[in-house]
Amino acid sequence: MTDLRMEETSPEDLAQREVLAAEPGRFDTVRRALFERPSTCIALAVVILFVIVAIFAPLIAPYDPLRQSILQINKLPSWEHWLGTDQFGRDVLSRMIHGSRNSLIFGLLSPVFAACIGTILGVSAGYFGGWIDRVISRVVDMLMAFPELLLAILVAAALGGSFWNIVVVLTAAFTPGFARVSRASTLAIKQEPYVEAAIAAGVRTPVIIFRHIVPNIMAPIVVLMALWSASSIRIEATLSFLGIGTQPPNPSWGNIIRDGLNAMFTTQWPIVAGGLAITIVVLSISIIGDSIRDVLDPETSQ
């Protein structure tokens, strides 16, 4: 990097070239991360399977997940109802299949929102410094002191549960982490000769930020998104279990377990099925996230 002769071409072009040169290599390493280890391949297959089930839920589910039947209360598994029924006589398998939508969507939405807001805050703090940095860092430090799950419970307790409230809750819980990581990376990138050169050449600030800094701090952001996708599925399940997440009668793996607890003495299948689904999906996404981390930033992996 330092041996590039800057007088030959504009600093902006140089930085552009740097990013383009890095891009194919980066995709290559991500591909390697995903397909080289057998455990990661299996994890990827599991996640894809669950996503397909979630997308085609209405076609796959054998019954309407909300249809109640007074004759079919708390039934054990049978050929009609593979996982039995719950206390309102609703088919548990259909609720599991439809519930996968409510559970998975947060694993996709909240890391994306948190990454956008967190990166904006972190990059502004790191790039501009001064009082902006002091205010943002201060608030981020305070919020980071709270475990994400506790922060989510407290915000959900204050706001109440609805789809967009859960998105807000999870985004609020994860944003500080993204802000901290992107601030640290921005501080490092800002010292790079190509950024200094761009500043010296009078490139406008938004161009420097979006073209030179943001693409170069994407690696740790992507790793965090993968890891927090798993966390948000787990936290949404916990919130729904506590009754402050997805609201009944809409199914989610968390509130299927909550309902299952009331029927614990007759049938334990809803609890077992709901919990296994959460554990398997979270485990698979974590394995994928760990693999991506191992290739993208080898220093932090053990």
Q: Three-state DSSP class for 97?
A: helix
Residue 256 beta carbon to another protein: minimum distance, rounded to whole angstroms: 11
Among residues 4, 41, 242, 250, the one that binds another protein under rule CB under 8 A: 242
Phi, psi angle pair for 81, to nearest 5° = -125, 100
Cis ω for the linkage preceding 249 (within 30 of 0): yes
Phi, psi angle pair for 261, to nearest 5° = -65, -35
Q: Three-state DSSP class for 91?
A: strand
Among residues 10, 16, 250, 286, the one that binds another protein under rule CB under 8 A: 286
Among residues 150, 200, 201, 207, the one that binds another protein under rule CB under 8 A: 150
Q: Which residue has the tokens 């994306």?
A: 112
Q: For another protein, which is the closer residue by CB, 92 or 197? A: 92
User: Judged by CB under 8 A, does residue 154 bind another protein?
Assistant: yes
Among residues 76, 157, 200, 207, the one that binds another protein under rule CB under 8 A: 157
User: Judged by CB under 8 A, does residue 6 bind another protein?
Assistant: no
Among residues 261, 262, 297, 300, the one that binds another protein under rule CB under 8 A: 261
User: Judged by CB under 8 A, does residue 55 bind another protein?
Assistant: no
User: Judged by CB under 8 A, does residue 145 bind another protein?
Assistant: yes
Residue 55 beta carbon to another protein: minimum distance, rounded to whole angstroms: 23
C-alpha span between 140 and 8 (Å, rounded): 42
Among residues 84, 122, 177, 274, the one that binds another protein under rule CB under 8 A: 274
Among residues 100, 216, 238, 255, the one that binds another protein under rule CB under 8 A: 238
* Chain centroid offset of residue 246 CA: 17
Residue 64 beta carbon to another protein: minimum distance, rounded to whole angstroms: 26
Site for another protein in 214-233 (CB under 8 A): 230
Among residues 82, 88, 128, 146, the one that binds another protein under rule CB under 8 A: 146
Q: Would you tell me how many other CB atoms lie within 10 Å of the CB of residue 257?
A: 21
Using only the alpha carbons of the chain, give its radius of gyration. Answer: 23
Binding residue count for another protein, defined by CB under 8 A: 41
Q: For another protein, which is the closer residue by CB, 103 or 124? A: 103
CA neighbor of 278 nearest in space, from 106, 120, 76: 106
Q: Are 83 and 269 in contact (CB under 8 A)?
A: yes
CA neighbor of 122 nearest in space, from 78, 63, 182, 164: 182
| Core vs surface per residue 75-92: b (16+ CB within 10 A) or e | beeeeebebbbbebbbbb
CA neighbor of 66 nearest in space, from 106, 99, 24, 26: 99
Residue 265 beta carbon to another protein: minimum distance, rounded to whole angstroms: 7
Binding site for another protein (CB under 8 A): 138-139, 142, 145-147, 149-150, 153-155, 157-160, 230, 234, 237-238, 241-244, 254, 257, 260-261, 264-265, 268, 271-272, 274-275, 278-279, 282-283, 286-287, 302
